[in-house]
Structure 1
Amino acid sequence: MPTVTVLQGPRSVELKRALVNGITDAFVDTLGVPAASVQIWIQETPADSWGQGGVLTADK
């Protein structure tokens, strides 16, 4: 059973649905696994709780 963890900033429910669908389709198409076996965990972090290149994402 494939398990995918996505770490990202907050997104709308509509975008998360599309992401889960696309990731599931990729596993089904590539590995031939049943869609029901693909688990996807989305962990969202607010922009004031992560940074890149020495800059807090909220400050960009």
Structure 2
Amino acid sequence: MPIVTIQQFPRSVEQKRELARRITQAFAEVYGAEEASVQVFFSEVEGENWAKGGVMGCDRPADPKA
């Protein structure tokens, strides 16, 4: 049973739904896994709970690609 954990900044449920669908398809195609056995966990991290280069995420400028 494949389990995929994704750590990311908050995204819309529509984006997560599409990503979960595509990841599930990839495991089914590449590993021959049953789609029903693929689990995808989203762990969303707010800017006040991470830092990069010593700067808290909430203090960094917004990423226009996010």
In the alignment, structure 1 residue 29 sits paired with structure 2 residue 36: no
Which whole-Å deviations, capped at 9, do the CAs of 1:6-60 have from their partners, x for residues lacking one?
Answer: 1111111001101101111110111011110101111111111111121111221
Number of residues paired by the alignment? 60
Give the alignment's TM-score, normalised by structure 2. 0.82
Q: What SS is found at the alignment partner of 2:11?
A: coil
Amino acid at match of 1:55: V
Provide the residue aligned with 1:44 in structure 2: 44
Amino acid at match of 1:36: A
CA distance in 2, matches of 1:30, 1:53: 36
Higher helix share: 1
Note the aligned Cα RMSD (angstroms): 0.9
